[in-house]
Copies of this chain bind each other. A is one copy, B any other.
Amino acid sequence: MIHRVVRILSAFTDDDPAMHMRELARAVNLPVSTVHRLVTELEVEGLLVRDDSGRLRHGHRMWEIASRGSSASSLREAALPSMEDLLNHTGNHVSLGVLDGTDVLYLERLAADDSTVNITRVAGRLPVHGCSAGLVFMAFAPDDERELFLQRRHTKLTEDTVTTSEELRVIMADARRLGYVSMAGIIVEESSGISVPIFIDGGRVAATLTLIVPRGDERLSITVPQLILAARAISRRLGHRPPPMGMQRRSAP
């Protein structure tokens, strides 16, 4: 039953924020009578509301419950000032990601109007092997988790997506040694992603901070220190002491 409720609630998206009952039933592939019964209960709770045209949408209550209890909201809030500074200083897209299963889920994404293609969107997902953020999470993950990742079969998203465990292993080792991952064109041909970890609890990676730049315009000697400093500021704002600046180098395999 909870599964059906989740299916109903997650049928509403940025592209389909409002639906009539029949559209909703079609979207979740359940009988109209079942959907009707569940929707009525969800309306009582304020999780769904009807707009003037009779279409259903999420009620503000839904957003409220999720925001209040969520580490996503506090992460986002702690990261926002540094993300704005990065956007203003670099003129590049900036995103904040967390690991959720085998995906990176993007909690925030600030867009520079005139920069390159950026397919991340707020509350959007990318597969771990298809973005620099995901490779940072895997680089700093516990050994058993990283091994599981390396043993999975990865699909090519572009010509340049890295899919072999040998190559991925080198990228992870470099990431731990250098403290960042820079990948060109692994999901969109014309863009590069540069990502660094945001540490909490003296070593766990809570999130990743990413700059999306036009491919070939990585200027790592400038962008990486900016990203690392911003990530450290976010760690502090979350109430954690980031590890000493040299630590990433020392923890190299």
Q: Are B38 and A60 in contact (CB under 8 A)?
A: no
Judge if A219 is at the interface, Cβ distance under 8 Å: no
Q: Among the listed B9, B10, B68, B122, which residue makes an inter-chain contact with A77, where contact means beta carbons less than 8 Å apart?
A: B122
Q: Verify B14–A74 contact, CB threshold 8 A.
A: yes
Name the B residues within 8 Å of A44 (CB-CB).
2-3
Cβ B105 vs Cβ A65 within 8 A: no
**Nearest CB in chain B: distance from A51 CB, A:** 9
Chain B residues within 8 Å of A77, by CB: 122
Bound complex: CA of A98 vs CA of B46, how far in Å?
14
**What's the Cα separation between A182 and B3 when bound, in Å?**
47
List chain B residues, Cβ under 8 A from A65. 6, 9-10, 62, 66
> Does A115 reach chain B (CB closer than 8 Å)?
no
Q: How far is the CA of A2 from the CA of B6 in the complex (A)?
A: 11
Number of copies: 2
Q: Pick the contact of A45 from B6, B45, B122 — CB < 8 Å? A: B6
Question: Given A47-B6, A84-B84, A105-B60 in contact, is the A17-B69 Cβ separation under 8 Å?
Answer: yes
Check A12/B68 contact, CB under 8 A, given A2-B38, A60-B98: yes
Tell me whether A23 is interfacial, beta carbon within 8 Å: no
CB distance from A80 to the nearest CB of B (A): 8
A164 in the interface (beta carbon within 8 A):
no
How far, in angstroms, from A11 to B69 measured CA to CA in the complex? Answer: 8
| A67-87 interface bits toward B, Cβ cutoff 8 Å, 1 = contact, 0 = none | 111111110010000001000
Q: Contact between B123 and A10 (Cβ–Cβ < 8 Å)?
A: no
Give chain B residues whose Cβ lies under 8 Å from the Cβ of A5. Answer: 2, 5
Q: In the complex, are the beta carbons of B98 and A69 less than 8 A apart?
A: no
What are 22 A-B contacts defined by CB distance under 8 Å? Answer: A2-B5, A2-B38, A3-B44, A5-B5, A10-B68, A17-B69, A46-B100, A58-B66, A58-B69, A58-B70, A59-B100, A60-B71, A60-B98, A60-B100, A62-B66, A62-B70, A63-B70, A63-B72, A63-B107, A66-B67, A67-B122, A73-B122
Q: What 7 pairs between A and B have smallest CB-CB spacing?
A: A12-B69, A66-B66, A67-B123, A63-B72, A58-B69, A2-B41, A63-B70
| Contacts from A to B (Cβ < 8 Å) | 1-3, 5-6, 9-14, 17, 38, 41-42, 44-47, 57-74, 77, 84, 98, 100-101, 105, 107, 122-123
